[in-house]
Amino acid sequence: MLRYKKGNPVQIGEALGAYVREKVDLISGFNVVKGFLNLKISDSYYLKFFKEIYNQKEFGKVNPSAGDSSVMVEYSSPNTNKPLHLGHIRNNLLGYSVSEILKASGKKVYKTQIINDRGIHICKSMLAWKRYGNGETPESTGLKGDKLVGNYYVKFDQEYKKEIEVFINQGKSADEAKAEAPIFLEAQEMLRKWEGGDEETVALWKKMNSWVYDGFDITYKNLGVDFDQLYYESDTYLLGKKVIEEGLKKGVFYRRDDGSVWCDLTDEGLDEKIVLRSDGTAVYMTQDIGTAIERVTDFPDIGGMVYTVGNEQDYHFQVLFLILKKLEFDWAKNLFHLSYGMVDLPSGKMKSREGTVVDADDLMIEMADTAKSISEELGKLEDFTDAEKDTLYKTIGLGALKYFILKVDPRKRILFDPENSVDFQGNTGPFIQYTYARIQSILRKANFDYSTDLEISKLNLHERERELIKQIQLLPETIQQAANNYSPAVIANYTFELVKEFNSFYQNVSILGEDNPDIKQFRVQLSQKVGEIIKTAFSLLGINVPERM
């Protein structure tokens, strides 16, 4: 503004402030600090706002309008040869939460995953089971299906390493040994049989995969995530070849002398990328191109897609999106790689084959156990049944874990220390859950009908009340911001601020002890609303809130 009106910023501010206070009802005061004009908004404005939203159950959320395009969010997408671990948990929490946030921001969302149910890694588990399994099943061992299969994946690797060692001792190079180990050759042979439709191999594949799916179902259920549509790589791995042919005609791709097909992205500052092998078979990229197109065919209203995949695949998605743009699909401009950093342990990276992973199921159990020991120490649950306690511990434990992971910007790496586990105090899920439970306690004790219409425009607001209402006002834009940035962390931080503000209010003013009935009712209503918002916001993070804890 000073560019247009020269002069002393402080004087201009004074003049402007005085004018606005005079002419605008909403403004009840002002001050000028270092050239910044601060306007004080009148209490009646805040009260009016609160009254308007008091009865809006879904305040802050936007409903999709008819005719809007929808978004497909892909997440999880595990391999079916081993159980889910901490890395998958971050992926699942992010994907689920971003889906919910997008919905709340007014988008229609399809949640999906593509299950990597075929390939050499699957054959490794199958082969090891065939050789060493003695017909073991989840029923016979009492093991979760994914755990059982995972054990054989590890078993394969152990045997493989033994064979490699023998070869190396016989004087072969490491590469030769890896390529010639009999167990590896046999796994490759198994993959060929599978691709050829060999009955016995396919039957074994189906059997072992179904064990894994049963196991995954349990993990997903405990984690609280779900999907609207599943894709299986065994159905999609041949997709995309036709599009490559069309792309060749359009000149998007070119064929080399050996028959392989490439996309030249050097103009874009990237490399050349192979999209079809010289033997005509599909690569990962081919498949992803085909799958994307397949999805839009299945759901014609899709206008964009979100891929929740670790940042190790940044380059892959950069290339994928560029190729789809070159193929001129109109939805290609609305593709987003929800790229997230790895979850590291103090000991370094997690490696399935080396057993240095934090298992998803185990972790959830540990979190609930921690919640249990903390709650028992505080001992406020005497009248809870065992089943109620059990549910509560899960709610708190999962709340701690989910919040811990989601409050961090997805791009950043997370260091997870299983020893020190996750905090329950400060900026944590349980802190927020506790505040919610406390509010519910107030509402239970409020022995009057506080929901009646209240003429509150004449009340004078306490500073803490004003700040609380301000924070409530931010909810709608916060949801939009979280959606625009695909960032659950925005929601988490907002909720924490709200809760801190509420606790300060709670500690500084009396609610049920207030004499003036109007003020008392207003404070109960305000508390109730804060409770509702905590619940809504946490639902966007996939976190439940307890009525008591």
Partner RNA sequence: GGCCACGUGGCGCAACUGAAUAGCGCAUCUGAUUACGGCUCAGAAGGUUGCAGGUUUGAAUCCUGCCGUGGUCACCA
Asked whether the beta carbons of 494 and 113 are under 8 A apart, the reply is no
Nearer to RNA, 360 or 396 (CB): 396
Residues 261-290 that bind RNA (CB under 7 A): 269, 271, 274, 277-279, 282-284, 287
DSSP β-bridge partners for residue 27: 41
Judged by CB under 7 A, the number of residues near RNA is 78
Nearer to RNA, 172 or 389 (CB): 389
Q: Roughly how many angstroms between the first and final C-alpha of the chain, as a whole number?
A: 53
Nearer to RNA, 301 or 547 (CB): 547
Q: What angle do CA 510, 515, 516 make, to 5 degrees?
A: 105
If one asks whether residue 469 binds RNA (CB under 7 A), the answer comes out as no
Sequential DSSP letters for 493-528: HHHHHHHHHHHHHHHHS-STT-SSHHHHHHHHHHHH
Q: Which stretch binds RNA (CB under 7 A): 90-98, 103-111, 154-162, 439-447?
A: 439-447
Nearer to RNA, 144 or 494 (CB): 494
Nearer to RNA, 190 or 490 (CB): 490
Q: Which stretch binds RNA (CB under 7 A): 89-97, 193-201, 223-231, 307-315?
A: 307-315
Q: What angle do CA 497, 503, 505 make, to 5 degrees?
A: 105
If one asks whether residue 378 binds RNA (CB under 7 A), the answer comes out as yes
If one asks whether residue 175 binds RNA (CB under 7 A), the answer comes out as no
Report, in Å, the least distance between residue 27 CB and RNA: 14
The binder of RNA chosen from 131, 389, 438, 466 (CB under 7 A) = 438
Q: Which stretch binds RNA (CB under 7 A): 65-73, 143-151, 190-198, 402-410?
A: 402-410
If one asks whether residue 457 binds RNA (CB under 7 A), the answer comes out as no
Q: Site map for RNA, 208-247, x if CB under 7 A?
A: -------------------------x--------------
Nearest to 398 by CA among 378, 369, 359: 369
**Judging by beta carbons within 10 Å of its beta carbon (0-12, 13-18, 19+), is residue 62 exposed, middle or buried?**
middle
Nearer to RNA, 44 or 188 (CB): 188
Nearest to 152 by CA among 121, 179, 177, 180: 121
Distance (Å) of CA 442 to CA 115, 187, 446: 47, 63, 6
If one asks whether residue 437 binds RNA (CB under 7 A), the answer comes out as yes
Asked whether the beta carbons of 548 and 487 are under 8 A apart, the reply is no
Nearer to RNA, 169 or 266 (CB): 266
Asked whether the beta carbons of 319 and 270 are under 8 A apart, the reply is yes
Report, in Å, the least distance between residue 485 CB and RNA: 4
If one asks whether residue 255 binds RNA (CB under 7 A), the answer comes out as no
Report, in Å, the least distance between residue 534 CB and RNA: 13
Report, in Å, the least distance between residue 85 CB and RNA: 16
CA atoms of 324 and 223, how far apart (whole Å): 33
The sign of the torsion formed by the CA atoms of 31, 478, 526, 530 equals negative
Residues 39-68 that bind RNA (CB under 7 A): none
Residues 312-331 that bind RNA (CB under 7 A): 312-316
Q: What angle do CA 298, 304, 307 make, to 5 degrees?
A: 90
Q: Which two tokens stand for residue 17?
A: 């402030």
If one asks whether residue 451 binds RNA (CB under 7 A), the answer comes out as no
Report, in Å, the least distance between residue 538 CB and RNA: 15
> Kind and range of the H or E element at 57?
none
Q: Which two tokens stand for residue 134?
A: 């003695």
Strands 414-415 and 108-115: unpaired
**Judging by beta carbons within 10 Å of its beta carbon (0-12, 13-18, 19+), is residue 22 exposed, middle or buried?**
exposed
Report, in Å, the least distance between residue 518 CB and RNA: 16
Asked whether the beta carbons of 254 and 262 are under 8 A apart, the reply is yes
Q: Which stretch binds RNA (CB under 7 A): 66-74, 88-96, 132-140, 418-426?
A: 418-426
If one asks whether residue 473 binds RNA (CB under 7 A), the answer comes out as no
If one asks whether residue 7 binds RNA (CB under 7 A), the answer comes out as no
Asked whether the beta carbons of 545 and 437 are under 8 A apart, the reply is yes
Q: Which stretch binds RNA (CB under 7 A): 128-136, 137-145, 198-206, 405-413?
A: 405-413
Report, in Å, the least distance between residue 279 CB and RNA: 6
Report, in Å, the least distance between residue 301 CB and RNA: 27
In one letter, which amino acid is 448? Answer: F
Nearer to RNA, 38 or 173 (CB): 38
Report, in Å, the least distance between residue 209 CB and RNA: 15
Report, in Å, the least distance between residue 21 CB and RNA: 16
Report, in Å, the least distance between residue 211 CB and RNA: 20
> Kind and range of the H or E element at 107?
none
The binder of RNA chosen from 92, 112, 375, 395 (CB under 7 A) = 375
Residues 103-122 that bind RNA (CB under 7 A): 116, 119-120
Q: Give the SS3 label for residue 169.
A: helix
Could you give the residue ranges of the DSSP H alpha helices within 37-77?
Answer: 43-54
> Kind and range of the H or E element at 138?
helix 138-141
The binder of RNA chosen from 238, 342, 358, 365 (CB under 7 A) = 342
Asked whether the beta carbons of 83 and 144 are under 8 A apart, the reply is yes
Residues 14-33 that bind RNA (CB under 7 A): 33
Asked whether the beta carbons of 287 and 236 are under 8 A apart, the reply is yes
Residues 487-516 that bind RNA (CB under 7 A): 489-490, 493, 496, 500, 503-504, 506-513
The binder of RNA chosen from 54, 211, 431, 538 (CB under 7 A) = 431
Report, in Å, the least distance between residue 210 CB and RNA: 20
User: HSE on the CB side for 88, CA within 13 Å?
Assistant: 25
Report, in Å, the least distance between residue 250 CB and RNA: 22
Asked whether the beta carbons of 60 and 534 are under 8 A apart, the reply is no
Q: What are phi and psi of 240, to 5 degrees?
A: 100, -25
